[in-house]
Amino acid sequence: MEAYQDFKAYSSLKAKTPVDALVKEAISNPGLIEQYLKIIDNAKGGIKFGAEKVIRLVSESRPELVYPFFQEIAGLIDSENSFIKWGGIITLSNLAGVDELELFPGIFERYFDLLNDRKMVTAANVAGNAWKIAKSYPELEPEITRRLIRAVDNVYYYKEEPSPECNNVLRGHIIDCFDRYFEESRSKDKIIEFVRNQLANSRKKVVLKAESFFKRHERSA
């Protein structure tokens, strides 16, 4: 089997080719996507993170090219490396819109259990991208909404100490997410109640997000 160091994708990463050029190349030659995934699995440091970024950016513009590797991407959310985990979370959300084989429901629990991660950034990546899944799977939207609301009861840690401020930051991400699919939601009453409660949040940015939410959705709210 060809060693990943022999891959064209690896040579390009090592040469520090601009990421936009790497993404363009991977789109024109989708065979490179498999190479980038193998690099993520085997390389270390910046090369590994660079490969993940290429996959993530390709999934944003051409998710159908990454979709054949859905299960490999799903494996990234179990990574011990936070950066790889966060990239996997985002990429999977991008694939939901082209999920013709309906693979996402099979990893639903694993994906949304990450809202309970000790690191707020992990939960924030789930919350910040959950709207894509809610739009692609409207039948899952009520459960997605329920889990997002429930996540504010979690304790998140900063420097190994419980951080109420991390919890507040997550609330802001959840408002942003609800803002994306509120008009189609079957859980409007629950969303309205949640966002209204944030008007008294101690973090000013969260209050501003809540106020903006109601201005945008005043007719429905």
DSSP-based three-state secondary structure for 157: strand
**Region of 45 on the Ramachandran plot (φ > 0 left; ψ -120 to 50 alpha; else beta):** left
Q: How far is CA 112 from CA 58, 61, 133, 189, in A?
A: 23, 24, 11, 22
* C-alpha–C-alpha distance, residues 92 and 107, integer Å: 10
The CA-CA-CA angle for residues 100, 150, 140, to 5°, reads: 20
* C-alpha–C-alpha distance, residues 115 and 121, integer Å: 9
Q: Can you tell me the mean pLDDT for 51-69?
A: 98
Dihedrals phi, psi of 197, to nearest 5 degrees:
-65, -25
Residue 138's Cα: distance from chain center in Å? Answer: 18
Residues 6+ apart with CB under 8 A from 44: none
* C-alpha–C-alpha distance, residues 177 and 134, integer Å: 10
pLDDT tens by residue, 110-167? 999 999 999 999 999 999 999 999 999 999 999 999 999 999 999 999 999 999 999 9
Q: Can you tell me the mean pLDDT for 54-66?
A: 98
Task: Indicate the pTM of the whole model.
Answer: 0.95
pLDDT tens by residue, 71-85? 999 999 999 999 999
**Region of 16 on the Ramachandran plot (φ > 0 left; ψ -120 to 50 alpha; else beta):** left
| Bridge partners for 161 per DSSP | 158
Q: How far is CA 176 from CA 52, 108, 159, in A?
A: 25, 21, 26
